[in-house]
Amino acid sequence: MNILVPLLIGWLLMAVVMALLWEVQRRRKNAGIVDVAWTVGVGLLGIFFALWANGLGTRRVLIAAMATLWAIRLARHLVERISRESEDGRYHQLREKWGEKTQINLFWFFQLQAFWSVLFAFPMLIAAGNTTGALQVWDLLGILIWLVSVVGESVADRQLARFRSNPQNRGQVCSRGLWRYSRHPNYFFEWIHWWAYVLIAIGSPLGWLTLAGPVLMLLFLFKITGIPPTEAQALRSRGEAYRQYQRTTSVFFPWPPKARQ
């Protein structure tokens, strides 16, 4: 299977889509749309890659279904959040930081998201190209990991949304449910999700490349687009309450909280 051709086609399509969406955000002054676009883009690329790949038919259908359902759930959550809130504080902060260069920088930021969408859909292409005959135990484990990740992230998102919907919690920190054990349980389960494609790709000569999914996701969450800007915004909006939360609660991996200091 030639993997370069579908990757190039996918990148070109996403580059065009992101350019159009950049114009949408320019008019509406809300860059949060890029998060939805990235999610939907990865899902659509997963379907495209599954159709392109020459792996076992059942496995290709499985990958397409997993990519679709994952994207629908996350995109729906993001759309609901964007529709009831003003622009995410992370993007508002970038506008203040970039000043007159905001729009040109956002254009390239959107294009970077186009590249990232292909990068994160890449494991789906490899998994869908696995020609190992009949579904193996690794495929079943992959499905199980996928289910755990999607359910876990969905629960975490609902718990946070329910907490924020209560006016009495304004300015407070959600430390209930899964958020009692991790400051970012939604990110943790999102990271778990990418291990599903690693397991499904076992047996393929290129299967080891799917490790790029969880490795890159962990890097992005800890160093680039995930935890750092999210916690910086939380500190700006919740101050000492969030600092106390940081002192008692695991940043990522779920773990019993420490005693309050």
Least confident of 98-102, 121-125, 141-145: 98-102
Q: Is 55 exposed, middle or buried (0-12, 13-18, 19+ CB in 10 A)?
A: buried
In the chain, the DSSP E strands lie at: none
Tracing tokens 């970038």 back to the chain, one arrives at: 94
Q: Please report which confidence band the pLDDT of residue 260 belongs to, taking 50, 70 and 90 as the band edges.
A: low
Q: pLDDT category, 88, cuts 50, 70, 90?
A: confident
**CB count, 10 Å around CB of 206?**
14
Instruction: Classify residue 97: in a domain, yes or no.
Output: yes
Supply the pLDDT for residue 185: 97
Radius of gyration of the chain (CA): 19
Q: How wide is the angle at C-alpha 32 spanned by C-alphas 198 and 51, nearest 5°?
A: 35
Structural domain contains residue 255: no
- CA distances (Å), origin 176, targets 79, 225, 249, 251, 257: 24, 24, 11, 15, 11
| DSSP annotation of 162 | H
Quickly list H helices, 166-209. Answer: 185-193, 195-200
| Residue range 62-85, pLDDT digits in tens | 999 999 999 999 999 998 888 777
In a domain, residue 53? The reply is yes
Using DSSP, state whether 255 is helix, strand or coil: coil
Within a domain: 38: yes
Token duo for residue 128:
């869908």
User: CA 187 to CA 98: how far, in whole Å?
Assistant: 27
Q: Which domain holds residue 241?
A: 4-248
The crossing angle, in degrees rounded to 10, of helices 33-52 and 4-28 is: 160
Q: Which amino acid is at 7?
A: L
Average pLDDT over residues 168-177: 91
The one-letter amino acid at 85 = E
pLDDT at 1: 63
b or e along 223-250 (b: 16 or more beta carbons within 10 Å of the residue's beta carbon)? Answer: eebbbebbbebbeeebeeebeebeeebb
- What is the pLDDT of the chain when averaged over all its residues? 93
| Whether the Cβ atoms of residue 29 and residue 87 lie closer than 8 Å to each other | yes
Q: How far apart are CA 55 and CA 184, in angstroms?
A: 35
Residue 42: the pLDDT is 97
Number of domains forming the structure of the chain:
1
- The Cβ of residue 258 has, within 10 Å, a number of other Cβ atoms equal to 10
Distances (CA, A) of 256 to 158, 176, 178, 217: 21, 12, 10, 24
| Other beta carbons less than 10 A from residue 162's beta carbon | 13
Decide if 60 is inside a domain. yes
Range among 95-99, 152-156, 228-232 rated most confident: 152-156
In a domain, 46, yes or no: yes
Q: CA 78 to CA 134: how far, in whole Å?
A: 36
Tell me whether residue 80 is in a domain. Answer: yes
